[in-house]
Amino acid sequence: MPISAPMVDTHCHLNFDAYDQDLTQVLDEARHQQVTRFLIPAVDLETSRSGLRLAEQHTGVSAAIGVHPNSTATFGESLLNELRALSAHPCVVGIGEIGLDYYWDKSPKQAQWAAFEAQLRLAAELALPVIIHNRDAHEDTIAILERWVVDLPPALRGHAGVMHSFSAPTPIAERALACGFFIGFSGPITFKKADELRRVAASVPPERLLVETDAPYLTPEPRRGQRNSPAYIPHIVERLASVHRLDDDEMARQTTLNAERLFRLPT
């Protein structure tokens, strides 16, 4: 049966070119599938601004601001100050996506580290949760986060942020949970050969799970090969429900509650 409980796509790049021609239709199709709220993360200053513009224009849309590790080569104090100014916008619910990416060689590691730590400090200053990008940088990412959470303000303790589109081994998930992070799963949790990722997901308590598409990327089965869409969130919810042996609606309700708690969304 279709899922009847409302769901939240906590990571969808609706401000990317892939949706320039039909964003209203994409949102309508998602709502028809009970996906009623959407969080647009940023990858640089321009997408921080464009995400906020869409949040102003569309019901149920929130945004995060920040600079993706692959965009950090020219990161500096002036850019950080611009992010701080944008943070005053009422649609901002987080800082991200930020982190480390050792798969692509688009920014030196030292620049990535400096930008990551600067944006973590900004998040603590503003008491906003973070959206963490980690690709092939598991140990460095979690080590930086473990140092950061030591002096968090009370509002972020136990609600530090989300490990976006999680792909690391179980020990990294355990360390992230200990730091107060939620764990986000996207399309790969549905892939036929993703048994190890599903084992990781099974180790995460349901009250710490989030669902996301990373649209337009990482399209889940059985839609793989198509442009991704928030309308496909039910495929991810259903897979997580199966892994945890829960009813689909129960998993939908739990992940929605988790999103509301972390990003302080209206209930």
pLDDT at residue 1, as a whole number: 78
Domains of the chain: 8-260 (3.20.20.140)
- Model confidence, pTM: 0.97
Please state, in angstroms and rounded to a whole number, the distance separating the CA atoms of residues 39 and 162.
Answer: 12
Predicted local distance difference test score (pLDDT) of residue 52: 98
Residues 6+ apart with CB under 8 A from 123: 94, 95, 129, 130, 156, 161
* Per-residue pLDDT, 267: 79
The predicted pLDDT at position 151 comes to: 94
**10-residue block means of pLDDT along the chain (267 residues)?**
95 98 98 98 98 97 98 96 98 98 95 98 98 98 98 96 98 98 98 98 98 98 96 98 98 98 93
Looking at residue 132, what is its pLDDT? Answer: 98
Cβ–Cβ under 8 Å, residues 253 and 5 = yes
∠ Cα 249 1 206 (to 5°): 25
